[in-house]
Structure formats: C-alpha cells, structure tokens
Structure 1
Amino acid sequence: MTTISVTGHMDLTDESIPLVRAELDKVLAAYEPSGLVGVSCIARGSDSLFAEAVLAAGGRLVVVIPSQDYRQAKVKPDHAETFDRLLDAADEVLVMPHETANRQAYEGANAVLLERADRLVAVWNGQPPTGKGGGTADVVHQAREADIPVDVIWPNGASRQA
C-alpha cells in the first residue's frame, strides 16, 4: 500500500490543467491501483486534479476537509459540482475540528496530509513561500524536513493565473 498526499497551486491557468493532469497520470501509473491511496483536500486546481487522477488510476481517495464551514465558506459555485462529486467518491472523509476555514485550519489539514503520506506530490512552480503559511512551498518544506519523498510536478507550459 502506498499513500500519496498532494499539495499544489489552486490558481492554475486553463491551459495548465491538461498539462498537470497528464503529469499526474504518469506519476500515479507507477503504482499498483489496488494499493494506491490518494489524500487530498479537493480544493480547486491541483488538489482536485490529483483526486481525479487517483480515482482514474483505480486508487482509493481520502479527503481532508480543513474546517466545518469549508464547503459553505470556501467552495465557489463553479467548483461545487467537482467538490461534491469527489467527496461522494471518497473512501474516507476527515473533517478537521476547526469551525472556520482559516490559516490554522489549513495548517491542521496539511499536518494530516503529511502524517498519512508515504510520498507527497507537489504541483508547484518552485517559488519560495509567501510568508502567509500553509501554502504549497511551506508544505513541501515540511515534507522534506520530515524525510517524506516529494515529487514536484510543474510541466513545461504550466502557469498560474495572474
């Protein structure tokens, strides 16, 4: 059994989405589907692309929801259908005890992602942390400090929305 968690940018451009998804499919193809578990917060962008790739590869999905109000407070209408579909497809759903979606909730969710991970997939442009905490670069740094192997995915042509 291999448990792979994901961190990554939410604000991928429309052109980047198929490029990132193709790379995720390649990474996950190396694992036996019956032993593959993907852990994701299923946020817009990288998290959802990873979750969809795990399911397409025949793996099991574990969803970590950062706070009790996350669905209402943070999931925009144009992402709600994908969010709900992935939530329904999950083998396990962990809702963090935080009432509101804030930095503390995101950091708590990221801690669970890393606790469960044999590996981390990071859809990351390699830029340093913004200083806000809880971002992709922070999670990559924490994973490396914990000796969790990190697969960075940032295909040629990928970019973030301006």
Structure 2
Amino acid sequence: MRVAVCGHRRLDGSVADDVDEALRQHLSTVDRLVGISSLSEGAEQIFAHAVLDTGGRLLVVVPAEGHRDALPPSCRAGYDSLVRRALDVVSLRFDAPTAQARLAAARHMLERADQLVAIWDRQAADVDGGPVDVIREAIWRRIPVKVIWPTG
C-alpha cells in the first residue's frame, strides 16, 4: 500500500515522540508499505523514519529547487540521510519552495497514494499548502485519510 503524508512542521519533543509511536503502530499494520513524503521538517521526517524502520520503502517528492536549504539547519542531515535511503526521488520543476510548490508536491504524492496519513491537530493550517489543503485534496480524490494526533 502506498501511503502519503502531510502534517505540521513544528512538533515539540513530547508531541513528536507520541506522533512517532502512533505512526509506527499504524504503519506496522500496512502490507508492502511504500511511504511518500517531501521530507519537510517535523511530521514528514518522523513519518519517513517510521516507514523505513518498519520495513517499508520510501518515495521522496522534492517540491522545488532549494527545498533542502529552506529547511531548518537542524533538519538537513536527517533529510540527506533519508534521501540516500529512498527507493526513488522525484524532483518537481519549481524554482523556489513556495506554497504553490508544496501543494503541487502534495498533489503528486496523492496521485500515487492509496491512503493519506495526516499528522494534524485538527486546527487551521499553519501555512498555505498545509495539512488542511492536502486533506481537502485527498477527500476530493476519494483517498482515505487517517488522522494521527496524540490525545491530550
């Protein structure tokens, strides 16, 4: 099953740990897992590590030139490591990592996905092209959405 991801970029330590645990629990039930991610900081990198650690394969969709450099410096080494471990890397032809590029990457992921995992607190999107926009697109495409967020 091909599972795409969207989610919040800013996750603190305890929330990130709880999200990681819930993700691993969900992904361990998926047969022949291929995770699809842009590897943005926060939810997407947590997802990618969980995919690989549970025996899945990773497909990376790079939204634009400069995507890696637009990540916080603390996330770049993780990004590089995940890209090296990916089954495939698809780069979209946007010149800069804008909301338009992020939404195009999300649509590209959804075109290949059987399910969307949304790491989302059910609040408004933190950026254009964020979780709310991606979830709406998945629903419009009739792709099942699994929301993961720690209780409390």
* Shared fold per TM-score greater than 0.5: yes
Distance in 1 separating the partners of 2:83 and 2:48: 10
Deviation at 1:129, TM superposition (A): 4.1
Deviation at 1:6, TM superposition (A): 0.2
Please tell me whether residue 154 in structure 1 is matched to residue 149 in structure 2: yes
- Structure 2 unaligned runs (5+)? none
State which of 128, 132, 141 in structure 2 corresponds to 1:137. Answer: 132
Residue 10 of structure 1 is matched in structure 2 by: 9
The CA deviation string for residues 101-126 of structure 1, in whole angstroms up to 9 with x for no partner, is 11221111011111111000000011
**SS in structure 1 opposite 2:13?**
coil
TM-score, with length taken from structure 1: 0.90
1:1-162 alignment runs, 5 A limit: 2-32=1-31, 35-72=32-69, 74-129=70-125, 133-157=128-152
Aligned length: 152
Distance in 1 separating the partners of 2:73 and 2:21: 26
Q: Percent identity?
A: 37
What is the one-letter code of the residue matched to 2:140?
Answer: E
Deviation at 1:133, TM superposition (A): 2.7
What is the one-letter code of the residue matched to 1:125?
Answer: D
Deviation beyond 2 Å, 4+ runs, structure 1: none
What is the one-letter code of the residue matched to 2:33?
Answer: L
The CA deviation string for residues 17-59 of structure 1, in whole angstroms up to 9 with x for no partner, is 1100000001101122xx1100001111100000000000111
- Structure 1 unaligned runs (5+)? 158-162
TM-score, with length taken from structure 2: 0.95
**SS in structure 2 opposite 1:15?**
helix
Deviation at 1:145, TM superposition (A): 1.4
